[in-house]
Structure 1
Amino acid sequence: MWPLSFISEEEFKQHVADTIEKYGEKLESYDIKKFNSNIIDPIKLIFDKMVYHSTWEEIVKNEIFRQRDKSNNNDIGYFHQKIFQYIAKCRVPANGKEGGWDVIFEDQDGIQLSMGDCVHRIYVEMKNKHNTMNAPAAGKTYIKMQNQLLQDDDCVCYLVEAIAKNSQDIKWETTVDKKKVSHKRIRRISLDKFYALVTGQEDAFYQMCMILPDVIESVVSDAYIKTPKDTVMQELEEIANKQGIPFFMAIYMLAFSGYNGFGC
């Protein structure tokens, strides 16, 4: 039996497949050219290896993972946002449309809020983590929400945080033009609370998380996604052997080949 009542198995699998597809070129294998495309910092790699007592293979794998992970964070943001297009009474506007909101939830029967108010619309700005917005970005987002409240007094605006400090639905207090501001209908809410609000199921987010690993495994298997075969270590070893230099020198040469004393 499919355990999620707020999204069908077919829709959820499709959403997972679309998210994996977003990984795109990150699934490609890394060679030394791709590895060093933004020029790595050999000094940092040297420190990491010595301080953490790691092997060169571990250091290289960790750096490749870091590079992939940096890009993948945006793709997980896609997962968190776009899933709501499959949830009843939610819509995910196209980029720049409907005020540029990430999600809009609308219920003609009314939405009962935690602080007691009842509205018919929720406008959402989504962030992956509670600390990803700097002060100017937070101020800009808050002003956007203020403007929405001025245009529509039958709504609430939420900053939905995928990774919040706590499970919460609280008034958002921030600083705009060096002044502390807050409004009861401009709120910060954790992702689990938002799932509960729009689905009517308190543990909806938990239930989604429990089924997610199996669905990802199924989708990856069905799509025959190949595990990347990175060749960076082999290429670095070849450079070291060919030039008769220690392996750490091959690491240095990625960035310092044109520096005094490093040229061949």
Structure 2
Amino acid sequence: MSYLAYISDEKFEELVASILTIGLNRKQSVEQDFEKNVIDPFATIFDAAISGFHHETWKESEMIRQCQKTLTNHIGALHQKVLGSVDGWEDLYVGGEVDLKSDQHQVIAEIKNKHNTLTGGRLADEYQSLLDKVSKKSSTYYGYTAYFVTIIPKTPERFNVSFTPSDRSTGAKVAAHEHVRTIDGASFYELVTGRPHALQEFYQALPVVIEHLMQTRFGEETFTIPDKDAFAAYFTTAFG
């Protein structure tokens, strides 16, 4: 049985393995370089007082935090690559005009991992960039629909609405345009794959493929992810 119905097992394993490699390499570098980096001694005292951690526990938690920061920077790209592997869709990679496109469906998309990735005037800049791409007759994407995608939204409710951030100069919302929209991650996964629960299927497949890869490619023959059910509760919190 395949991991996912909408991309091949080989491609899925390749994409997940790349993230594991990044994370494991970061973990090794953090462990090796921890004492070389300048640690804020004032912040650590407050951390210790508030958390009640002993030094070794604090150190472990700080190393986890540093690794997690690196992983978070790559998770948005993972979603982009997964969606770009679906038939009829193309990942344009970092530095492309947009993150994702489908000439077949006449859609372009910018993918952000979390609702607070961009704020304020930068959202208005994204709107204007997308608007120019779909409204200017000289643009490759004239007449397409542009989506600003927030994989993890602020609340679990689904949405697919006009993208109207506030203009940085006036403070008023920009004018709505029928071809410039904002959408949550679960709804966009459904739009791309045609499967209502595609994002949940992706999440549920991750522990399976991660355990398989850790055991077969990374030399951890008895590896399992502990407390998978407890971690899965965070998906429910984020997406309902």
- TM-score where L is the length of structure 1: 0.73
Contact 1:145 1:186 survives alignment (8 Å): yes
SS in 1 for 2:92: coil
For 2:11, give the aligned amino acid: E
Match of residue 124 from structure 2: 139
Residue aligned with 1:95, SS: coil
Offset, 1:39: 1.7
2:30–2:66 Cα contact (<8 Å) kept:
no
Opposite residue 61 of structure 2, the aligned amino acid is N
The residue number in structure 1 matching 2:102 is: 105
Task: Supply the AA of the counterpart residue of 1:186.
Answer: V
Whole-angstrom CA distance in 1 between matches of 2:69 and 2:219: 20
114, 135, 139: which is aligned to 1:129? 114
* 1:246-261 equivalences in 2 (<5 Å): none
> CA offsets per residue over residues 206-226 of structure 1, 9 Å max, x none?
111111111011112212257
Residues in 2 aligned to 1:95 and 1:205: alpha-carbon distance in whole angstroms: 22
Q: Which residue is equivalent to 1:212? A: 206
The CA distance in 2 between the partners of 1:136 and 1:93, in whole Å, is: 25
Q: What is the SS of the residue equivalent to 2:106?
A: strand
Q: Are 1:203 and 2:202 an aligned pair?
A: no
Aligned residues of 1:23 and 1:75 also touching (Cα < 8 A) = no
User: Contact 1:92–1:104 at 8 Å: present in 2 too?
Assistant: yes
Cα displacement (A) at 1:36: 4.6
Q: Which has the higher strand share?
A: 1
Unaligned runs of 5+ in 2: 221-240
Please give the per-residue CA displacement for 1:54-79, whole angstroms capped at 9, x wherever unaligned: 21111111111111112221121221
**Match in the other structure for 2:153:** 164
Number of residue equivalences:
211
Deviations 1:106-157 (A, max 9, x none): 32xxxxxxxxxxxx41111111111221222112111101101223453111
> Which amino acid letter does the alignment assign opposite residue 202 of structure 2?
M
Where do 4+ consecutive residues of structure 1 move more than 6 Å?
none
Q: Deviations over 1:76-127 (max 9, x none)?
A: 1221111123201100114334xx20010232xxxxxxxxxxxx41111111
Q: Percent identity?
A: 28
Shift of 1:37: 4.6
CA distance in 2, matches of 1:90, 1:66: 34
Please say which structure displays the higher CA radius of gyration: 1
1:193 to 160, 165, 187: 187
Going from structure 1 to structure 2, the CA distance change for 1:92 and 1:147 (only over 3 Å counts) comes to: same
Residue type matched to 2:38 in 1? I
Deviation for aligned residue 1:8: 1.6
CA RMSD across the alignment? 2.0
Distance 2:63 2:219 in 1: 18
Is the aligned partner of 1:19 residue 2:16? no
2:215 to 221, 227, 236: 221
Offset of 1:29 from its aligned partner?
5.0
